[in-house]
Structure 1
Amino acid sequence: MKLVVQVKLLPSPGQASALEAPLRACNRAAAYASQVAFAKELKDRNGLQREVYTDLKATFGLSAQPVVRVVKKVVDAYAVLKANLQAGNLGPPTAKRYRKAVGTPIAFRPEAAQPFDDRCLSWQYDARTVSIWTIDGRMKGIRFACSPDQLKTLVAHRKGERDLVRRGGTWFLIATCDIPDPEVYEPTDWIGVDRGIVNLATTSDGTNHQGRRLSRYRRWQARKRAELQARQTRSATRRLARRAQLRQFCLGLPRELEEAAIVDGCGHWRVYWNIVLPMSRPILSALAILFFLANWNAFVWPLVATNDQSLTVVQLGIASFQTQYGSNWNYILAAATVAALPMLVLFFVFQRQIVESIKTSGLK
């Protein structure tokens, strides 16, 4: 089992400057190697290393082993990019992100993490110091800090590369530890709890406790969602988005308030009426406004459903000012202004609720 241990380096100002130089040099070398790999389509480690090995040593002042680490970092980056493309994580080939990813070489930040192996970095556990390769030679005596458990894990199980990372002006070393898998045993007298995703509670004998009411509600939600998705209309898409927005808002409500009310003796209905509903006023107000706007601006349904001129809505009235022989633009613009007034009034009256609901639900 792989486990990552992060330790904090405590370099002096002079040591910090010496650490920054090789980090930036390695990332400049990685950017150069990435451009060569992209231009010559060299994605294998041996081929790219033969192509750039001499240039990286001469141009960027790197020794042999850091050059090997830089080449491996570039090859790994292109391997990850290829996997993301194949998995569709960047969209279809026609997507802008996809075309940008395949059309430009991979770039490396000046302070991106740099991997080191045992020939570039060594540990002195008793003194809690490390020795790291730099452009000016080996730098020894860099102190590090970690918990006793982390130190014990490093001593017993450290294996593989270490990454030198600078984050927010602080230096870290991230080491990989290969820990033996724990012994498999049959658990007894325990309950595993899944908070509302699939099962609420499942005991070790396989008994599932989630309640008929919850199962029925989940099936109803899945059926409604499938019905809306099958319609493939703008109205159905809008309703799906509103349902998702309302659900996201409700998931963000503090569970502690509900639990405190239950402890005080409130039932489910009182928790909903006195806690959940008052806290949901912003999202309910915003959804009510959005539904009003959608119906206020509706054109096709009133055109199909009404034949009586006395029942004509304002959008149909605006359309009636346009004929095949001409348009009464003064009437059209005046009617459009009148039609926009209720929406403007609603926004200015309820703008606080709209902003609050969007901010809390995470809608982008």
Structure 2
Amino acid sequence: MKISSRLSDVPPSGIREFFELVLNMDDVLSLGVGEPDFVTPWRIREAGIYSLETGYTSYTSNKGLLELRELIARELHDRYSISYDPDEEILITTGVSEGFDLAVRSVVDPGDEVVVFEPSYVSYDPCVKFSGGETRRIELDIDSGFVPSPDVIRENITEDTALMVINNPNNPTGSCLDFETAREISMISKEYDVPLLCDEIYSKLVYNGELHSPLDFDGMKDNCILLDGFSKSHAMTGWRIGYAAGPKEVISAMNKIHQYTMLCAPIVSQKAAVEAIENCENEVTEMVKEYNRRRRLVYGRFNRMGLRCSEPDGAFYVFPSIKKTGLSSEEFSKQLLEEEKVAVVPGTAFGSAGEGHIRCSYANSKEVLKEALDRIERFVSDKI
């Protein structure tokens, strides 16, 4: 049977392909999965259980529970001083991954270009291809701290540019936009009339000060689609609950696709998300404190073992350079797995700009992290 060329041109996920190897091995210490090691806080789980016990098993509005959208609107006003209409400008999605796909398909026509900064999350380029668009890659490096240069951004905007993707904090590098870069990106967006798709799923996992977003600046509400959710901040990956906020015409277009493909996010997850917003700030704060302790441990150890590492300001990843070993990212990752039974993700899973790097998640216990780092150091000492 013939397969669409849009699909045949997209390779399998570099992360999932690599971890098929891990499944066939015993006693592997994994620093590869981008998932909190915490269990969803009890208050949230209890709210989900109670919603089932009281009979909440039906569809919701395609847009999601109004109660949840109102809470999100209030939270976004507190964060950005922007007022979103919960009825027309917020959509509850089945995770941020669905939100990203909906947003791209809503604003990108075949032949349009989408600016993506690499290394980038593995779904970005495939979703652009599924929409018929073309990815215009801007490669970032460790010398810049993986933060884009406004001048380079301007050089890469063309008459075909339909969208610019901002992942802040970034997966896989952990980098965050500084104030000036966020301001410049907002100015470029308005100057060239290029809308932004801001994926801020790690927005609550920030360690060195506050998060600087293009949405912090005047006039950006109408030029930006914001994506966020509960997977990372509230350890709710399996609940599959996210949201999009943006201009009503874009949210309406996203909802049009959503209502034909997904209908609505699960009502149990939406009820749990209500509890997450209303009563779980303390639990999030404690998780962030623990991530920060692990961040300092892992960042410090990589630099001490001679692998240059840009300090991550957000998310729960480090992206050290392994160029000193003389191995490619894939060679390093496979040999480390075979010799020391530690799983990391080759940097090339996040685009060609990731070559010479590996991604390591510190969403794991300190005991596991220390043992994994000891093994990595032993492996590296034989190579450099």
Same fold (TM over 0.5): no
Larger Rg: 1
TM-score, structure 1 as length reference = 0.21
Higher relative contact order (CA 8 A, sep 6+): 2
TM-score, structure 2 as length reference = 0.20
Name whichever structure is richer in helix by fraction.
1
